[in-house]
């Protein structure tokens, strides 16, 4: 259906990608969000060049700077425009480095979980029978496991660290994708075009990838963006509960969690700025994902 | 009939008197209402309202007469306790020597008890002489008898016989002699006690006391600020500054019996978390006294106290703060001297330092992980590249005690704390400094396996000396030798803090207990 | 019927596997002995305690022992409280159910109308505000929102109590419930809003809705009957998952608001490695979850006749 729709409704000169871009940027909100996200990614990538201090080097950080107010001069000589956190890290440097970790952990675990979950969900929906039952029970099993328990067990066996948190996040998320994909695919499977494809005796692989997959993309993008954003926030929650990343290499989430205890004491900058950065990151991901969804959804085309 | 009328009148009176009610926000909740189930501060603190022991501890942990009016050693191995007369349990039955004997029989034998009171009851024979006299016999001279007996609550024999922990939790057996009586226990929510109108001592100030467990620090502070509770314990350091400024609140503080210190690997030549700068193996430098001194000198205790603890600590030079029994008058906190530390490292043959990992719990002591991080920063500055690893306490303590392949301590350098329940110096010396010995029960928490024959001898002598002056002197000297040898590195003593609404006052305690009997009305 | 029996058997297998995983998992992490004991205990006494809990035996032996008792309905005694784990959990279940159901209701009652409105009038400023709000709802970590709620409504305004729980269905109880329920619901509300909006937008463009409109049915009827029915499928699926999630993951909210529910018990038990409670909690959660899923699947087939029960779940 999508292939047919494309050939009918599009001028020949425009490639699908270009069409996508044109539609995407026709919304100024999405354009703004995309620019913001791009900016955030650049900041994260070039953190070591932009930060006045390496906040992960214990020899460079001193507790004597702890909780300095924004604009105060730290003992290393530079001005801490956003203040310092409870361990004496320059807030701005810590946020740049933290952004790197948060984005890395969130996106990587989101993408891997998406790929894994989609593959498993499609398999379950397409094959059906005992395999479907097995997979769905596995999904039940997975979803009944509180994320913190998975994380706690993994962290205890493997030790704390970004990679361990990622594994935990993948394990927590894949089942959501699998279940969503399967649900949508089951509905699609009953539709005429798939039945038609069956009648044409197309190979199963072709049916799954050319017909089933494109049609479950829309719900996947909704769930996917939400989950990636969720993963970043989940990582923060794990840190809040004390099972996340190592203390000396804080992510944005851990910075917020650490600052959380200062909330009532009036030292707002310790969790306010990282909170703002996290909010901006997650909002921009969500807005971009939202727009992509509208653009990609074949049924919303006219 | 008159009693009934009185009760009705009383009910009316109390309904109108909300000011008679005290609401307390606890940082950690007790695990049971059975006073012999779990030897844990939150339990002992709360159950002090319902139950009493023979010997009490005042707010500085000095021993005071409680259910026993007086005690003395009548020969080398026998102590005599004279019991208070005219004391009644909450159900009206009189308190006698039988209840004492029964309580010490029950205390070590509670089914499923995670940490029993056996340590205080075992090795002692309780003999009822008459209704109000008890003799306690031991095999060898035992000077800490009154201290031990201050730790075990007396329960009613009538209700305690055959009673299990759930019977106490339901309130059925929770019958004591204390100033308050059991009213309600909802685990995870609240515990309510009512004034014991027949109390033998000073009449309790509050008609009704409600304790609520609010574990999360900011939530506990918020509950106080919102006026949902009148008093909170374990005030987080970060909020202290703000709370002090708030005109609607009052703060009450005192130094605690808990020291935060560092244990170093004294027993392995190849220590798993000590490495050369290039990551290769290195002969454990922590066994060299000069290196240990350097580590201690590299730590800026003032910075930890002011920046990490926000003033809620006092820098430490030994095992207990001054004023406690058996502390040394000579020892002072080691001064911060990074250059001196570097010089010592050079003398010890490691001028460029080495690699070290500090392990710390992150949910056991106030700011524990942050202190470890600060120590890591300070050591990194004298060339000891320090990695900071923080673990949740359930994992940390198992690994730190029995995590190595030989079921011994796993880590090379750890941050831990120690509170002296008995309120005197033999407690940390015996557990942290004495050579580890399973059979004798010495050095049980000596996770650095420090061992010094001279110190051991002095500790053993002290534990067999009934004379207070001589014992105090022995304990002080043992402490001096161990600290000069850098057996452990003391960092600071915690300060216990309570915050309350204005109009309330709390007599702060060194043992971290939060007692309604210590809460009064200020004016 | 056969379908239900089959489902129950499958579920039992899930519970079995789960309990094994958790049992071994928690065993690997550690044991609570070292945080339960008091500092003064000797090595000898510590070992006695380990023996009394049966923690000195190999893990498979401990597991079979657990299974043998579990068959008789005994999930073991809590290491910390010394009382049956099941009893501890059931004691606190009403509090959590109250919180989860309140949050669930809030999410549905606010989420669906908001989402449908945003879907029907996608260009209006109100819809944009709703969507921005929903994104905000996702983006803020629960614990942070919880504390902000306490700050604003309890500390600054003094309208609502900060923490704890009142008696069920009393004015005081509802006042205590308001903040934590809203806190827990926020994320789900955002999710429902988005799902409802997505569903509405799709449905509004579909032929049968266009047809219904063309037929001259009143807009209210079109929306309430045709559009609502269409969006219920994804909403029910996701909410089914999320109700279980609400119950299982109320941990954070319960911690922040000192709500005496199962979630708080779980996080405490995990931190103290109180294995019997953790295992019992998960067994109960899984059972609850499976029941909810079963209901979701039945609802699903009722709402969308294209998905036949036996095909979907066989």
Establish if C284 touches chain B: CB-CB under 8 angstroms: no
Establish if A152 touches chain B: CB-CB under 8 angstroms: yes
Q: Hey, how many other C-beta atoms are within 10 angstroms of the C-beta on A237? A: 24
Nearest one of B515, B506, B423 to B52, comparing CA atoms: B515
Chains in touch with A (≥3 Cβ pairs < 8 A): B, C
pLDDT of residue B9: 42
Establish if B401 touches chain C: CB-CB under 8 angstroms: yes
Confidence grade of residue C164 (pLDDT, cut at 50, 70, 90):
confident
Instruction: Give the dihedral of Cα atoms C215, C220, C225, C226; nearest 10 deg.
Output: 50
Cβ-contact B57, B48 below 8 angstroms: no
Distances (CA, A) of A42 to A48, A251, A299: 11, 17, 34
Q: Which residue of C has its CA nearest to A233?
A: C141
Tokens at C92, concatenated:
């606190």
Confidence grade of residue B126 (pLDDT, cut at 50, 70, 90):
very high
Taken in order A129, A130, A135, A136, is the CA torsion positive or negative? positive
- The separation between the first and the last C-alpha atoms of chain B, rounded to the nearest angstrom, is 40
* Better-predicted residue by pLDDT, B209 or A141: B209
- The separation between the first and the last C-alpha atoms of chain A, rounded to the nearest angstrom, is 14
What's chain A's Rg over C-alpha atoms? 23
CA distance A300 to chain C (A): 7
Pairing of strands B519-521, B504-506: antiparallel
Rounded to 5 degrees, what angle do the CA atoms B242, B245, B251 make? 85
Distances (CA, A) of C244 to C256, C267, C290: 20, 17, 9
Mean pLDDT of the C72-91 span: 87
Pairing of strands B249-264, B488-501: antiparallel
Distances (CA, A) of B504 to A85, B461, B519, C308: 34, 46, 7, 67
Taken in order C124, C126, C132, C138, is the CA torsion positive or negative? negative
pLDDT of residue B348: 95
Statement: residue B287 has pLDDT above 90: yes
pLDDT of residue C241: 67
* Better-predicted residue by pLDDT, A119 or C248: A119
Confidence grade of residue A1 (pLDDT, cut at 50, 70, 90):
very low
Tokens at B264, concatenated:
């170093």
Confidence grade of residue A222 (pLDDT, cut at 50, 70, 90):
low
Mutate to test the interface with A, among C134, C136, C139 (most CBs of A within 10 A): C139
Mutate to test the interface with A, among B244, B377, B378 (most CBs of A within 10 A): B377
Tokens at A192, concatenated:
């005429």
Residues of C with CB below 8 A from B34's CB? 82
SS3 (DSSP) at B61: coil
Q: Indicate yes or no: CB of C286 within 8 angstroms of CB of A140.
A: yes
Q: Indicate yes or no: CB of C244 within 8 angstroms of CB of A144.
A: yes
* Bridge partners of residue B128, in order along the sequence: B134
Q: What is the pLDDT of residues A143-194, one digit of tens each?
A: 666 665 666 566 656 666 778 888 888 887 888 888 888 887 777 777 777 7
Nearest one of C1, B392, B408, B119 to B400, comparing CA atoms: B408
pLDDT of residue C50: 83
Tokens at B513, concatenated:
């207990």
Of chain C residues 233-272, which have a CB less than 8 A from chain B? 255-258, 260-261, 264-265, 268, 271-272
Confidence grade of residue B111 (pLDDT, cut at 50, 70, 90):
confident
By residue count, chain B amounts to 523
Pairing of strands B21-26, B231-232: parallel
Mutate to test the interface with B, among A75, A261, A268 (most CBs of B within 10 A): A261
Cβ-contact B276, B354 below 8 angstroms: yes
Nearest one of A105, A121, A247 to A174, comparing CA atoms: A121
pLDDT of residue B94: 96
Q: What is the pLDDT of residues A234-279, one digit of tens each?
A: 787 777 666 667 777 788 878 887 777 777 777 778 878 888 888 8
CA distance A180 to C239: 12
Statement: residue C102 has pLDDT above 80: yes
Q: What percentage of chain A exceeds 90 in pLDDT?
A: 8
Nearest one of B302, B501, B319, B338 to B428, comparing CA atoms: B319
Confidence grade of residue A40 (pLDDT, cut at 50, 70, 90):
very high
Confidence grade of residue B196 (pLDDT, cut at 50, 70, 90):
very high
Burial C15-41 (b: 16+ CB within 10 A, else e): beebbebbbebbbebbbbbbbbbbbbb
Q: What is the pLDDT of residues B139-148, one digit of tens each?
A: 999 999 999 9
Residues of A with CB below 8 A from B307's CB? 63-64, 66-67, 88
CA distance A110 to chain B (A): 26
């010890």: which residue's tokens?
B348
Q: What is the pLDDT of residues B239-273, one digit of tens each?
A: 888 899 899 999 999 999 999 999 999 999 999 99
Cβ-contact B496, B254 below 8 angstroms: yes
* Bridge partners of residue C120, in order along the sequence: none
pLDDT of residue C167: 76
Nearest one of A126, A285, A134, A274 to A221, comparing CA atoms: A285
The contact set of B with A (CB < 8 A) is 217-218, 221-222, 225, 236, 238-242, 300, 303-304, 307-308, 362-363, 369-370, 373-374, 376-378, 380-381, 385-392, 395
Establish if C161 touches chain B: CB-CB under 8 angstroms: yes
Distances (CA, A) of B281 to A141, B270, B272, B288: 45, 7, 9, 16
CA distance C141 to chain B (A): 16
Residues of A with CB below 8 A from B381's CB? 59, 62
Residue C184's Cβ-count burial label (10 Å; 0-12, 13-18, 19+) is buried
Distances (CA, A) of C233 to B360, C60, C228, C302, C314: 50, 44, 9, 10, 20
Cβ-contact A69, A268 below 8 angstroms: no
pLDDT of residue C202: 75
Q: Indicate yes or no: CB of C155 within 8 angstroms of CB of B225.
A: yes
Cβ-contact A57, A214 below 8 angstroms: no
Residues of B with CB below 8 A from A243's CB? 392
Establish if C147 touches chain B: CB-CB under 8 angstroms: yes
Q: Helices B237-245 & B217-225, crossing angle to 10 degrees? A: 10
Tokens at B148, concatenated:
């031990």
Q: Counting one residue from A and one from B, how many pairs have CB atoms under 8 Å apart?
A: 84
Tokens at B366, concatenated:
């106030």
What percent of the residues of chain A are helix, what percent strand, and what percent coil, each to the nearest 5? 75, 0, 25
Statement: residue B109 has pLDDT above 50: yes
Mean pLDDT of the B461-470 span: 92
Taken in order C154, C158, C161, C167, is the CA torsion positive or negative? negative
Mutate to test the interface with A, among C15, C135, C295, C301 (most CBs of A within 10 A): C135
Q: Indicate yes or no: CB of B214 within 8 angstroms of CB of C163.
A: yes
Residues of C with CB below 8 A from A133's CB? 10, 313-314
Under DSSP, the state recorded for A6 is H
Nearest one of C248, C139, C255 to C191, comparing CA atoms: C139
Residues of A with CB below 8 A from B388's CB? 58, 246-248
Q: Which residue of A has its CA nearest to C143?
A: A237
């009206």: which residue's tokens?
B92
Statement: residue A29 has pLDDT above 50: yes
Burial A140-157 (b: 16+ CB within 10 A, else e): bbbbbbbbbbbbbbbbbe
pLDDT of residue B72: 93
Mean pLDDT of the C65-90 span: 87
- How many Cα atoms occupy the beta-carbon half-sphere of C257 within 13 Å? 36
Q: What is the pLDDT of residues B88-104, one digit of tens each?
A: 999 999 999 999 999 99
Question: Which alpha helices (H) appear in B299-358, and where do they start and end?
Answer: 301-303, 338-347
Establish if B212 touches chain C: CB-CB under 8 angstroms: yes
* Bridge partners of residue B136, in order along the sequence: B79, B126
Nearest one of A204, A210, A247 to A101, comparing CA atoms: A247
Q: Considering CB atoms only, which of C43, C88, C150 is closest to B438?
A: C43
Q: Indicate yes or no: CB of C88 within 8 angstroms of CB of B187.
A: yes
* Bridge partners of residue B413, in order along the sequence: B264
CA distance C201 to C184: 27
SS3 (DSSP) at B150: coil
Statement: residue B57 has pLDDT above 70: yes
Q: Which residue of C has its CA nearest to B436?
A: C43
Q: Indicate yes or no: CB of A63 within 8 angstroms of CB of B307.
A: yes
Q: Considering CB atoms only, which of A156, A248, A265 is closest to B242?
A: A265
Nearest one of A161, C155, C250 to B239, comparing CA atoms: C155
Residues of C with CB below 8 A from A221's CB? none
CA distance B301 to chain A (A): 11
Q: Counting one residue from B and one from C, how many pairs have CB atoms under 8 Å apart?
A: 157
Average pLDDT, chain B: 91
* Better-predicted residue by pLDDT, C308 or B344: B344
Mean pLDDT of the A97-120 span: 89
SS3 (DSSP) at B232: strand
Mean pLDDT of the C91-95 span: 88
Statement: residue C125 has pLDDT above 50: yes
Helices and strands in chain B, H and E counts = 17, 22
Tokens at C37, concatenated:
């004991």
The set of residues, in sequence order, having a beta carbon less than 8 Å from that of C238 and lying 6+ positions away, is: A180, C191, C192, C195
CA distance C130 to chain B (A): 30
Statement: residue B17 has pLDDT above 50: no
CA distance A29 to C200: 22
Residues of C with CB below 8 A from B186's CB? 260
Q: Considering CB atoms only, which of C39, C43, C264 is closest to B188?
A: C264
Q: What percentage of chain B exceeds 70 in pLDDT?
A: 96
CA distance B61 to B423: 6
Taken in order B52, B53, B58, B59, is the CA torsion positive or negative? negative
CA distance A131 to C212: 40
By residue count, chain C amounts to 314
pLDDT of residue B16: 38
SS3 (DSSP) at C52: helix
Average pLDDT, chain A: 78
Q: Considering CB atoms only, which of A137, A230, A299 is closest to C138?
A: A230
CA distance B104 to B117: 9
Under DSSP, the state recorded for C164 is -
Cβ-contact B265, B516 below 8 angstroms: no
Q: Considering CB atoms only, which of A63, A260, A267 is closest to B308?
A: A63
């Amino acid at each position: 259906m999508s292939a047919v729709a494309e050939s009918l409704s599009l001028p020949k000169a425009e490639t699908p990608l270009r069409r996508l871009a044109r539609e995407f940027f026709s919304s100024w909100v999405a354009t703004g969000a995309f620019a913001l996200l791009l900016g955030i990614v650049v900041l994260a990538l070039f953190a070591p060049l932009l930060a006045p201090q390496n906040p992960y080097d214990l020899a460079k950080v001193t507790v004597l700077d702890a909780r300095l107010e924004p604009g105060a001069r730290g003992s290393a000589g530079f001005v801490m425009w956003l203040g310092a956190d409870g361990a004496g890290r320059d807030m701005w440097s810590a946020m740049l480095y933290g952004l790197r970790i948060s984005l890395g952990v969130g996106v990587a675990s989101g993408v891997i979980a998406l790929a894994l979950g989609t593959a498993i969900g499609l398999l379950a929906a397409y094959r059906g029978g005992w395999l479907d039952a097995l997979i769905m029970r596995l999904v039940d099993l997975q979803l009944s496991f509180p994320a913190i328990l998975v994380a706690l067990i993994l962290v205890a066996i493997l030790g704390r660290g970004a990679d361990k948190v990622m594994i935990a996040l993948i394990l927590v998320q894949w089942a959501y994708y699998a279940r969503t994909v399967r649900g949508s695919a089951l509905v699609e499977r009953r539709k005429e075009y798939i039945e038609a494809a069956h009648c044409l005796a197309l190979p199963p692989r072709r049916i799954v990838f050319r017909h089933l997959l494109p049609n479950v993309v829309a719900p996947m993008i909704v769930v996917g963006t939400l989950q990636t954003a969720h993963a970043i926030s989940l990582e923060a929650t794990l840190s809040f509960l004390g099972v996340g990343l190592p203390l000396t290499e804080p992510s944005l989430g851990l910075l917020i969690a650490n600052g959380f205890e200062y909330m009532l004491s009036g030292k707002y900058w310790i969790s306010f700025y990282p909170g703002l950065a996290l909010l901006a990151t997650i909002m921009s991901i969500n807005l971009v994902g939202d727009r992509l969804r509208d653009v990609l959804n074949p049924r919303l085309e006219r | 009939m008159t009693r009934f009328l009185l009760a009705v009148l009383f009910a009316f009176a109390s309904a109108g008197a909300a000011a008679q009610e005290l609401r307390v926000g606890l940082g950690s909740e007790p695990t049971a209402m059975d006073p012999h189930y779990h030897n844990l501060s939150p339990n002992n603190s709360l159950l002090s309202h319902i139950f009493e022991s023979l010997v009490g501890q005042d707010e500085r942990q000095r021993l005071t007469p409680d259910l026993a009016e007086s005690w003395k050693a009548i020969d080398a191995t026998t102590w005599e306790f004279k019991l208070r007369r005219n004391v009644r349990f909450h159900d009206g039955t009189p308190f006698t020597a039988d209840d004492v004997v029964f309580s010490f029989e029950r205390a070590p034998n509670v089914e499923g008890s995670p940490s029993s009171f056996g340590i205080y009851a075992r090795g002692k024979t309780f003999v009822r002489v008459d209704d109000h006299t008890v003799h306690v016999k031991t095999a060898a001279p035992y000077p800490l008898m009154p201290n031990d007996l201050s730790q075990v609550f007396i329960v009613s024999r009538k209700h305690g016989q055959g009673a299990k922990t759930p019977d106490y939790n339901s309130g059925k057996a929770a019958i004591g002699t204390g100033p308050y009586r059991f009213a309600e226990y909802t685990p995870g929510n609240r515990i309510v006690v009512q004034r014991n109108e027949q109390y033998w001592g000073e009449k309790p100030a509050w008609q009704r006391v409600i304790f609520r467990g609010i574990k999360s620090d900011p939530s506990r502070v918020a509950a106080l600020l919102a006026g949902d509770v009148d008093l909170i314990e374990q005030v987080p350091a970060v909020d202290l500054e703000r709370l002090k400024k708030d005109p609607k609140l009052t703060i009450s503080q005192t130094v605690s019996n808990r020291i935060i210190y560092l244990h170093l690997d004294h027993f392995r030549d190849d220590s798993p978390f000590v490495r050369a700068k290039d990551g290769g193996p290195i002969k454990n430098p922590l066994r060299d006294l000069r290196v240990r001194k350097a580590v201690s000198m590299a730590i800026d205790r003032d910075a930890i106290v002011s920046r990490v603890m926000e003033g809620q600590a006092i820098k430490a030079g030994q095992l207990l703060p001054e004023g406690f029994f058996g502390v040394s008058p000579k020892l002072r906190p080691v001064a911060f001297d990074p250059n001196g530390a570097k010089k010592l490292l050079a003398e010890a043959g490691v001028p460029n330092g080495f690699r070290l990992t500090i392990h710390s719990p992150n949910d056991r002591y106030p700011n524990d992980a942050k202190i470890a991080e600060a120590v890591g920063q300070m050591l990194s500055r004298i060339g000891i590249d320090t990695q900071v690893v923080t673990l949740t306490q359930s994992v940390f303590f198992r690994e730190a005690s029995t995590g190595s392949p030989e079921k011994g301590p796993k880590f090379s350098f750890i941050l831990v704390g120690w509170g002296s329940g008995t309120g005197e110096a033999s407690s940390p010396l015996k557990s942290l400094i004495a050579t580890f010995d399973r059979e004798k029960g010495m050095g049980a928490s000596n996770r650095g396996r420090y061992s010094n024959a001279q110190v051991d001898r002095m500790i053993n002598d002290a534990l067999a000396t009934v004379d207070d002056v001589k014992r105090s002197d022995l304990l002080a000297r043992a402490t001096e030798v161990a600290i000069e040898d850098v057996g452990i590195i003391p960092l600071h003593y915690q300060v216990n803090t309570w915050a309350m609404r204005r109009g309330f006052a709390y007599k702060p305690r060194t043992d971290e207990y939060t007692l309604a009997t210590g809460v009064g009305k200020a004016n | 019927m056969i379908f239900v029996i089959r489902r129950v058997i499958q579920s039992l297998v899930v519970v079995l596997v789960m309990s094994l995983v958790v049992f071994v998992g928690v065993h690997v992490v550690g044991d609570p002995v070292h945080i339960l004991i008091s500092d003064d205990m000797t090595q000898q006494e510590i070992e006695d305690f380990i023996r009394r809990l049966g923690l000195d035996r190999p893990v498979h032996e401990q597991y079979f022992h657990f299974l043998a008792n579990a068959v008789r309905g005994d999930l073991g005694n809590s290491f910390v409280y010394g009382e049956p784990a099941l009893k501890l959990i059931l004691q606190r279940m009403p509090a959590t159910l109250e919180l989860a159901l309140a949050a669930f209701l809030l999410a549905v009652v606010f989420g669906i109308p908001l989402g449908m409105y945003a879907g029907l009038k996608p260009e209006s400023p109100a819809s944009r505000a709703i969507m921005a709000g929903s994104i905000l709802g996702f983006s803020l970590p629960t614990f942070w929102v919880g504390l902000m709620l306490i700050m604003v409504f309890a500390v600054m305004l003094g309208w609502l109590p900060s923490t704890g729980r009142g008696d069920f269905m009393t004015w005081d109880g509802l006042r205590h419930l308001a903040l934590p329920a809203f806190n827990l619901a926020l994320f789900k509300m955002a999710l429902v809003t988005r799902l409802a909006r997505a569903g509405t937008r799709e449905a509004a463009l579909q032929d049968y809705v266009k047809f219904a409109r063309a037929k001259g049915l009143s807009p209210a009827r079109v929306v309430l009957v045709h559009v609502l029915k269409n969006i219920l499928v994804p909403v029910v699926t996701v909410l089914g998952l999320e109700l279980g999630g609400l119950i299982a993951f109320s941990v954070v909210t319960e911690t922040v608001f000192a709500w005496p529910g199962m979630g708080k018990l779980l996080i405490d038990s995990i931190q103290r490695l109180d294995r019997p409670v953790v295992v019992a909690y998960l067994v109960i959660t899984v059972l609850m979850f499976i029941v909810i899923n079963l209901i979701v699947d039945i609802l699903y087939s009722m709402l969308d006749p294209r998905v036949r029960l036996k095909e979907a779940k066989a």
